[in-house]
Amino acid sequence: MATKAKELTVEEKLKALYTMQSIDSKIDEIHKLRGELPLEVSDLEDELAGLQKRIENLNTEMENLKETISESKNGIKEADTLKQKYEKQLNSVKNNREFDALTKEIENQDLDIQLMEKKIKDSTEQITSKTAYLEESNELLEKKVKNLEEKKKELEKITKETEAEEEKLSKKAEKAQKKVEDRIVNAYNRIRKAYKNGLAVVTVERNSCGGCFATIPAQKQLELKQRKKIILCEHCGRVLVDNDLAS
For Zn ion, the binding residues (CB under 5 A) are 209, 211-212, 214, 233, 235-236
Tell me the C-alpha distance between 90 and 102, whole Å: 7
Residue 200 or 236: the one with the smaller Cβ distance to Zn ion is: 236
Helices (H) and strands (E) in the chain, counts: 6, 4
CB of 208 to Zn ion, least distance (A): 8
Residue 133 or 195: the one with the smaller Cβ distance to Zn ion is: 195
CB of 139 to Zn ion, least distance (A): 54
Q: Cβ distance 180 to 19 under 8 Å?
A: no
Rounded to 5 degrees, what are φ and ψ at 121? -65, -45
CB of 220 to Zn ion, least distance (A): 11
Residue 68 or 203: the one with the smaller Cβ distance to Zn ion is: 203
The end-to-end CA distance of the chain, in Å, is 29
Residue 120 or 200: the one with the smaller Cβ distance to Zn ion is: 200
Tell me the C-alpha distance between 50 and 116, whole Å: 35
Contacts 24+ apart (CB under 8 A), 100-107: none
Residue 65 or 240: the one with the smaller Cβ distance to Zn ion is: 240
CB of 216 to Zn ion, least distance (A): 8
CB of 27 to Zn ion, least distance (A): 22
Tell me the C-alpha distance between 175 and 8, whole Å: 14
